[in-house]
Structure 1
């Protein structure tokens, strides 16, 4: 009986500890006293989406209530209210609640970069958006393009920092820049372990903007946060990452996007399941269907056999890091040889040796050992830019 009570006590203590960490973190956007004085007399543009929350209000609403002159909104891939699907180009429009113009990032010469006309409309850009700390989650690519546009046009950027839910570790190979694409824009590992604020400082410090340009960035730090804080996001950043488990699994199973295997887009469990109509030996089944967040999901309307990961422990996945066992399992089960991987795989993983090693039958540990040098190198490289205890 004593052991039972001890177990219950330890479990409750763990839950309370996580809740205490969660409630004590103060994100950059909440510290209005630190950045409101910088906005006086300025025309403000805002780069944000549905995740830009201050308490129970959106940052845009807070700015408008405080008579800040917000003249434009830039929104990333899924739109300002988070309703667009992956890869959808968000057109210019107006935010229905406030009447503030939403300027498309696809009306300029370069996709994802504001037009010259858009840049002339504001004096200062606020960045407030929730990232998940993974190289192929491309909000950071939009951020760096905005930083470069602001550097060219001599506009100041205020970045309101938020915790990185995958910020407790660094894992995966550093991107070989010959595979640079819309899902990989900087020479960083798959999981970089940086907040948006830290990454912005690193972009400047490493001179990663074109021609070594430097953007005038002020970061409003989170308070009471370290890289080991298990922070639960109050608002999820993407319609296809519907819970914390999907965010923790994302660095491990997104590679299925470069194969015929479904990872659950078009179901209620995106990034928490995987399967294919021809996978053998599995009892679990699912059928992807068209929905607003996944209009044409892989294996649409086809019965898939595979694996349900949705019952895994969040904490176990959080601790484990990148796990290629799911990818290797599907590769070996389908036995498609050269027809399993598409060229997009190298864009996601960032190097050419991972595909080759999987095809050669190498183990997860052997593959991860290949990129361990990249991990250690990057930890040293990023150290000057860390704003929070590692």
Structure 2
């Protein structure tokens, strides 16, 4: 097995607002280090530094998971519960649960947190009036959101935020969003924009597949564009020291896996592209130690990696790889496929990479098939990518098809950005 070291051929993805991708993190071949004077301070740290004044006199419920940590790595629920200045009365768990033990498509249910005695309400699968009723039953007047996102439209936490904002407006509650970094940076948006007939919990509204925003910026966009007829009272607490060119390694913050199959920032980097394989019969690497960096299936051979590498996609190499998933697709079976190796974060486009892998998988493996429910259409936001791949289009042609919609989203996005 060999790894190509050829030069880039300059096939660029469609760029959104913010201009060309800038400096990258230290330790990545072919990329300069992003300058950083001091560690980034999260929205929660900023809230704490202000003595929690924003929450004074409020009955607070927190939507969070294991990523909601303080500067000393204690969980924010434990910190807030122990502080007499905050009246914390409830916790709300998203997909995977408050403590993060459930796999994709699952949650932990409602219970009482053994560490604090607080009631934990399960929000997964709830929206609209049903979720508003949960907030009412919890007795809160302010819903605080603090969860680490990964920068992809189909990662469900941002739509948990959206659903909570809608429900809070229905229930007469306020929302406070504590910001955290977009771990893949925030210089640009990339990929197709969702079309509303394809809306679901992996995309409620017209947002680019890789949105290039933080959760606080998205909250502002949701309130200003999609909830404008009935906006929620919204306050956002910004980070200090974060810049749009920072990937997670430049923040100085500890990484806590936001879900079981995003164990590292490197996983987050490729996720917006390789998660598209959830819409196929190939494994996206679940059940391995490097999910989403490995993609393959039983019966795939070296031809796929060779075809993908021959595309000359920017910032990435494709290595022939073999793996045996312990669960999910092809559990216990040896799969052949591709390992995605990002060598230049500044040039890398995860969405274009995912499209290139779909195109070449279909061309080189006779067993390739879409999921029967056309889940790929939910992930990409329309049926256009699927139809173009089936018609034999290449990555550049497919990217050109979504360019106009991406440019429109980029112009809207620009109005809600908070950081340089």
TM range (shorter): 0.7 to 0.9
Partners of 1:35 and 1:112 lie apart in 2 by 33
Whose helix fraction is larger, Structure 1's or Structure 2's?
A: 1
- Provide Cα deviations, 1:57-98, integer angstroms capped at 9, x if missing partner: 111122122122211111111111211100003310122221
1:359 aligns with 2:390: yes
The residue aligned with 1:6 is: none
The residue aligned with 1:119 is: 136
1:378 aligns with 2:409: yes
Contact 2:192/2:380 (CA < 8 Å) preserved in 1?
yes
The residue aligned with 2:231 is: 214
Count of aligned pairs between the two proteins: 366
CA apart distance, 1:195: 0.9
Instruction: Tell me which of 289, 293, 313 is aligned to 2:343.
Output: 313
Partners of 2:324 and 2:146 lie apart in 1 by 36
CA change 1:361–1:247 in 2 (3 A) is same
Question: Which ranges of structure 1 fall in alignment gaps of 5 or more residues?
Answer: 1-12, 291-296
The residue aligned with 1:277 is: 298
Instruction: Tell me which of 280, 289, 298 is aligned to 1:268.
Output: 289
Partners of 2:68 and 2:344 lie apart in 1 by 24
CA change 1:382–1:349 in 2 (3 A) is same
Contact 1:135/1:188 (CA < 8 Å) preserved in 2?
yes
Contact 1:113/1:145 (CA < 8 Å) preserved in 2?
no
Instruction: Tell me which of 25, 28, 31 is aligned to 2:43.
Output: 28
- Provide Cα deviations, 1:245-278, integer angstroms capped at 9, x if missing partner: 2111111111110111001101111111011112
Alignment of 1:291-306 (within 5 A): 297-306=328-337
SS state at 2:117 partner = coil
Alignment of 1:1-390 (within 5 A): 14=26, 18=33, 21=36, 23-31=38-46, 32-34=48-50, 36-56=52-72, 57-67=74-84, 68-106=86-124, 110=127, 114=131, 116-120=133-137, 121-166=139-184, 167-206=186-225, 208-209=226-227, 212-232=229-249, 234=254, 235-281=256-302, 284-290=321-327, 297-309=328-340, 311-313=341-343, 315=345, 318=348, 322-323=352-353, 324-336=355-367, 339-342=369-372, 343-389=374-420
CA change 1:274–1:377 in 2 (3 A) is same
Bigger Cα displacement from structure 2, 29-38 vs 16-25: 16-25
- Provide Cα deviations, 1:182-202, integer angstroms capped at 9, x if missing partner: 211111110111111111111
Partners of 1:354 and 1:113 lie apart in 2 by 34
Partners of 2:326 and 2:37 lie apart in 1 by 35
SS state at 2:418 partner = coil
Higher RCO (CA 8 Å, separation ≥ 6 residues): 2
TM-score normalised by L of structure 2: 0.81
CA apart distance, 1:113: 5.2
Give the CA RMSD over aligned residues: 2.5
Contact 1:112/1:145 (CA < 8 Å) preserved in 2?
no
SS state at 2:415 partner = helix
SS state at 1:126 partner = strand
CA change 1:314–1:29 in 2 (3 A) is farther
Partners of 1:118 and 1:380 lie apart in 2 by 34
CA change 1:185–1:113 in 2 (3 A) is farther
